[in-house]
Amino acid sequence: MSPKQLEEMYDAVIVGAGAAGLSAALGLLRSPAVARMRRQGVEPRILVVSKLQPLRSHTGSAEGGIAASLGNVESDDWHWHYYDTVKGGDWLVDQDAARLLAEYAPQTVINLERQGVAFSRTDEGRIAQRRFGGHTREFGGEPVRRAAYAADRIGHQILHTLWQQCVAEGVAFAEEWYVTDLVLAEDGGRAAGVVAFDTHAGAVKAVHARNVLIATGGAGRLFHTTSNSWDLTGDGMALALDAGLQLEDVEFVQFHPTGLAHTGILLSEAARAEGGVLRNADGEAFMERYAPGHADLAARDVVSRSIMAEIDAGRGVADPKDPDGPRDCVWLDMTGIDPDRMHAVLPQVVETIEQYAHIDPVSDYVPVKPTAHYTMGGIPVTTRGEVYRWSTDGADGEATRTKVAGLFAAGECSCVSVHGANRLGGNSLLDACLFGTRAGEAMAERIAHEPAGDPTAADDPEALELDGTLSDAVDRSADHRRQDLASLLDASAPHDPADDNPYRLMARLGSLMERALAVRCSAQSIEAALKELDSRVAPEADALHAHDATAAFNQEITAIWEVRHLTTLAGAMLSASAGRRESRGSLRRLDFPERDDERFLAHSMIRSTPVRGSSDGSGEPGYELLWQPVHIVDIPPKCREY
């Protein structure tokens, strides 16, 4: 589905149609500000652009639950959820944002239910809840049932519900359009729109907008083994870097402990919440040694590192499909779960194991290993979703946040910093829905102040001049992209067809990043990866060329742009990892094994500079790396133990 024609100027363009993007659209359209506009006869001009049909967005793969202190199964308190989120993020969490997340989580879940999400139920008819790693009662005490679930298909339920609500609201979608450029005004101070490639028509489109929201999801495809879908190629984060913006805490990538061996396919944390146990080659339930009292339901980074410690100690197991292969897995033992309950509350987990491992989890152990799952960092935003720049060049040397007018971000591609150095299970869907809604409401306030479709403003010379300036910037970017597309399709251009394979290059990049950063890293592994990235991968990405000269439905074109986005993001992630000389949350530095609050209780803020190549943490000359203090409110840092 594509718009029959593009508006001359949109009030807002939302890039991405997962939980964050759809929540933003609904938050905008249902806001008091838009209600006032409509009473005055003005309808906002909104377009949602998605490189997928929305129901294929990665939100649909979320399995286990959405966290909220509903207290439906046992007593709970949002203050406990707030504490768990800060502790889970290893104190790199902005506590003002985490407080909002926890306090408004029950309201967010109840609103989802009222819109149509079919949650599983208790015998009393309430929304059912289960345990999830790192969620406790009494500020770090016993595990608590906080994750609201729909069997093990909560993401599917939420995605379909939000999409149906958007259709009911008349939201216009541009489906299977790939956004290639985020365009800012010449001074970089405000959003101007985006450039997108309509894959159906094979045409580059200039989309002018007074407000833009980026909600493109994560970047799991940076790694060879990932639970992420094929399309999560870090597009939004790379667009921000290419536009001269910063990324925050991008060095923190969560590896989910239980990826099905050598496929990366996620086996939900719900399997352990329902009684699944991790075992090593000796049959030992080893997690009690690493996290007494929490065991298999400790935070994800703790469990992933524990699994790797067992493998490194020689207590790993081989994948039954390759019994003579590497012993780089451990067992997930689900045999203690009642079979009827297993099939009732974990149908997707069971189906995945049976279909891809050819194992019956009722009677057999399942091989698992950590899989790249979630990007904690991203485009820096306020708690209202407003994108900003962090600078240390303020008056009197003061550090400042400068908002980019009309530019917003939400979901996994953004960093409001509620996850810090490690995300708790169930908090990602909550983050996307809650802060996506807040960003939509903030956009609505800007739109109501100066709507593009207001007939009374048609003769305002200042507005006309501004729109003309913004439109010119987008049109110039679109012309450059059309030239790029023409060069990719030009069969007469010099190129080596044997080397023109974006998919093979993406696989090589995934292996490179896995060697460099998966679960653990060091200066040596980072430096080796940066050297290969700069000397081989990036030049080869720039030299890629399409094999077919047809633009329409040419997936190779978008694959080339995707691998270039991944290459851009990889350089920033490696450089930020090099600059953080400590171990915190998901980042385990073998050469700096301790957390260092004195130097690094701060958010990394990295942006590309014209010349690349440095990895020493200074950011020169390849990247500028600044540090922004963490917002500590009322939970002072202390040792993180489970």
Element (H, E) at 386: strand 386-391
Rounded CA gap, 268 and 159, in Å? Answer: 18
Asked whether 223 and 513 are in contact (CB, 8 A), the reply is yes
Question: Radius of gyration over alpha carbons of the chain, in Å?
Answer: 24
Q: Which residue has the tokens 């003309």?
A: 468
Asked whether 266 and 227 are in contact (CB, 8 A), the reply is yes
Instruction: Give residues with Cβ within 8 angstroms of 199, minimum separation 6.
Output: 51, 176, 177, 178, 552, 553, 554, 555, 557, 558
Q: Is 300 a catalytic residue?
A: yes
Question: Considering only CA atoms, which of 363, 450, 375 is closest in space to residue 405?
Answer: 450
CA atoms within 13 A on the CB side of 405: 12
CA distances (Å), 569 to each of 331, 513, 542, 586, in order? 33, 11, 14, 18
Report whether the peptide linkage leading into residue 367 is cis, meaning its omega lies within 30 degrees of zero.
no
Asked whether 179 and 51 are in contact (CB, 8 A), the reply is yes
Which residues are bridge partners to 368 per DSSP?
A: 260, 330
Indicate the burial class of 124 (C-beta count within 10 angstroms; 0-12, 13-18, 19 or more).
exposed
CA distances (Å), 83 to each of 80, 433, 587, 633, 640, in order? 5, 20, 21, 11, 12
Catalytic residue among 99, 300, 438, 580: 300
Rounded CA gap, 423 and 403, in Å? Answer: 26
Rounded CA gap, 553 and 589, in Å? Answer: 43
Rounded CA gap, 463 and 9, in Å? Answer: 12
Question: Considering only CA atoms, which of 485, 488, 481 is closest in space to residue 547?
Answer: 488
CB-based burial, 282-299: b 16+ in 10 Å, e otherwise: eeeebbeebbeebbbbbb
CA distances (Å), 243 to each of 73, 180, 186, 546, 559, in order? 47, 11, 11, 25, 20
Rounded CA gap, 216 and 24, in Å? Answer: 12
**Count of other CB atoms within 10 angstroms of residue 637:** 15
Query: Which residues are marked as active site?
Result: 300
